[in-house]
């Protein structure tokens, strides 16, 4: 699926995978994020930590009419305030998509799939 952007010079179609990759990259740059998780938890509640090439598996893009909603599945670092980390991810994802593509995102929903202890 694609999202069509109309500009003065013509139309641009942006694939959902591109939006998911940009959103996943923005999220992993935030402090307190260990990585992206798969939207489907592995058996026994373990979350699969995704590599950079698989960010789109942890991001769902939904279009409802003219609104764009993004669901993100993340793993946070132990000892961080989860609400602050989630807010920072929401803000950064919205900002990056607005600056890079010109998309206005209506909501960024964060689903914390796990907490990991990181080696300092």
Q: Output the pLDDT for position 120.
A: 56
Q: What is the pTM of this model?
A: 0.81
In terms of residue numbers, what domain contains 56? 2-116
Q: Output the pLDDT for position 44.
A: 41
Contact 97, 22 (CB under 8 A): yes
Q: Which residues of 68-104 are buried (b: 16+ CB within 10 A; e: fewer)?
A: bebbbbbbbbeebeeeebbebbbebbbebbeeebebe
Q: What is the CATH number of the domain that holds 110?
A: 3.30.70.1350
Profile the chain (120 residues) by mean pLDDT over runs of 10 residues: 84 90 91 82 52 72 90 92 95 94 92 81
Domains in the chain: how many in total? 1
């Amino acid at each position: 699926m694609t999202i069509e952007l109309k500009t003065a010079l013509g139309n641009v179609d942006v694939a959902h995978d591109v939006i998911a990759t940009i959103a996943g990259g923005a999220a992993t740059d935030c402090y307190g994020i260990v990585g992206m998780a798969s939207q489907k938890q592995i058996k026994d509640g373990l979350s699969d930590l995704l590599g950079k090439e698989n960010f789109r598996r942890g991001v769902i893009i939904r279009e409802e009419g003219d609104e764009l909603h993004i669901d993100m599945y993340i793993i946070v670092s132990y000892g961080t305030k989860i609400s602050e980390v989630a807010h920072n991810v929401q803000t950064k994802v919205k900002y990056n998509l607005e600056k890079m593509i010109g998309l206005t995102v209506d909501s960024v929903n964060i689903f914390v799939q796990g907490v990991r202890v990181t080696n300092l």
